Amino acid sequence: MSKNLLNLSVEELAPLLKNQSISPVELTKEVLGHAERSQPQINAYMDFYREDAEQAAQQAEKEILNGQYRGMYHGIPMALKDNLYFRDKKTTMSSKIHENFVSSYDATVVENLREAGVIFTGKLSMHEYAWGITNNNPHYGAVRNPWDLNKIPGGSSGGSGAAVAVGSSVASLGTDTAGSIRIPASACGIVGLKPTHGLVSKYGCYPLAWSLDHIGPMTKTVKDAAGLLEIIAGYDKNDPTSINRPKDQYLPKVTGEVKDLVIGINEDFFFNQVDTDINNLVRTSIQKLVDLGAKVETVKIPTLQYAEWAELVTSLSEASAIHHSDLQKRPDDFGDDIRLLFELGELPSAVDYLQAQQIRRQLKQDFQEAFKKIDVLISPTLPVAPNTIGDDFVDLNGQQVDLIDNIIRFTGPANLTGIPALSVPCGFKGNLPIGLQIMGPAFSEAQLLNVGYAIEQTKPLQGKKPNLLLHS
């Protein structure tokens, strides 16, 4: 029974909890026990909340028995990335500098999840201050990819990716500034959604780069992501970037119907310099959508050629502004890799930053033009497969290329433009899962989730699971 529980998604668990076939107490015990057992190999957790979780599970059980079922996530055990504030709990950003930081309030998304009846099992590791993609953390150790323990899980939400993939958190939230939800989602074989900028409140999330940061779902299935987005999306006056618009319902629109959907492909940028196997997997998935009635159009997005510079200048400058004082006063307390990035971020001028914003606006206009002809734009999530832990270079069709420069190439533009982007698994390269990215116009999350669901229905992972989950 326990193996079955750990394998189940939220959409499968929710009816069992609702009809009292399983109890939140039993489920929480299974998930926490598995999380603790897999911790020596995976290192996904920063902190376990066993006592709190057991109390919350008992409360949820009581409510459900009394007929006060709150919805899909009631009684679901989840751990969250350690840059989301929990009232009276440590939030470390997996850093040394903030190792004892305790917030006096919950992040808005944490508050939303509490109201939905989620049971918090703990906090998950991340790349220090979210400023990297390996999750090879100098202070708390490397998080390992459950599909291959020698490989990175991606980052910066690598703890979230690994925990969901291995079943030590039924679902999770990540944050994404240049791809930090989608990169680990792709690397760990799960679903990751970076919503439209302003759709999900960032109040109570330690920032990396204010204008590029997003919070979003990381889940086992597309419907789990849709249900989670319904809980966390919405206007928040405490977040200056939050957008006041009517709340959307995503789950009813996730049907898998893609007849007459127009899929955009941009060959010049999003299929340039891609691992051959990944390229083939993504194109095969697109063909499957075509077989279901979708159409394909090629599109040009000229400003993409300047996107890398604009993304770099914007993210580096904003991140270095946030950490400027600590870089002056206690530089040795940063990990080496992020200290270097903070030093680099001190170099662009104000003119560089402002011209990057002009490029950003033009890029948004280019995407808007493209979306007049197409419904969604599909690309590989990553041009390369996850590399070995500790290796700064990665193989791209026989060439060793810089890992960081390459791994964010296809994810960064959605942060710069603020458009939503979803990563769903589309197959395997060797023993490692590969992700496909679906982008759309602002607030088109329902459409993206629906297309992702259509791909999910083709069973790209063939029912395979990481060994640690199978042998738990």
Partner 1 sequence: MSLSIQDVLKNKGIEVKQAHLNVLEARWENMKALRADLKHANIDDADIGVRNIPGGDHIE
Task: Show which residues are catalytic.
Answer: 81, 156, 180
Near partner 1 by CB under 8 A: residue from 284, 362, 397, 467: 362
Cα–Cα distances (Å) from 5 to 1, 9, 10, 170, 178, in that order, read 6, 9, 10, 10, 33
What is the token pair recorded at 67? Answer: 């007929």
Residue 273 sits in the site that holds partner 1 (CB under 8 A): no
Rule CB under 8 A: is residue 390 a binding residue for partner 1? no
| Residues contacting residue 387 through CB under 8 Å, at least 6 positions apart | 151, 152, 393, 394, 395, 403
Choice from 312, 422, 454, 468 touching partner 1 (CB under 8 A): 312
Q: Which is nearer to partner 1, 240 or 293 (CB)?
A: 240
Where in 210-269 is the site for partner 1 (CB under 8 A)?
Answer: 237, 240, 242, 244
d(CA 350, CA 317): 9
Tell me the three state secondary structure of residue 345. Answer: coil
By CB under 8 A, tell whether 336 contacts partner 1.
yes
> Could you tell me which stretch among 110-118, 180-188, 282-290, 349-357 binds partner 1 (CB under 8 A)?
349-357
Both tokens of 443, joined, read 């607030």
Q: Which residue of 29, 89, 220, 339 would you call a contact of partner 1, by CB under 8 A? A: 339
Min CB(272)–partner 1 separation in Å: 15
Render the burial of 169-178: b for 16+ CB within 10 Å, e for the rest.
bbbbbbbbbb
How much of the chain is helix, strand and coil, in % rounded to 5?
Answer: 45, 15, 40
Q: How far is CA 83 from the centre of its chain?
A: 13
Q: Helix H segments across 177-216?
A: 182-188
Task: Verify binding: residue 51, partner 1, rule CB under 8 A.
Answer: no
Q: Are 194 and 225 in contact (CB under 8 A)?
A: no
Among 101, 105, 309, 443, binds partner 1 (CB under 8 A): 309
Q: Which is nearer to partner 1, 63 or 326 (CB)?
A: 326
Nearer to partner 1, 293 or 302 (CB): 302
Q: What angle do CA 316, 320, 324 make, to 5 degrees?
A: 170
Q: Does 328 bind partner 1 (CB under 8 A)?
A: yes
Stretch near partner 1 under the rule CB under 8 A, chosen from 55-63, 93-101, 251-259, 307-315: 307-315
Interaction site with partner 1 (CB under 8 A): 237, 240, 242, 244, 302-303, 305-306, 308-309, 312-313, 327-328, 331, 336, 339-340, 343-344, 346-348, 352, 354-362
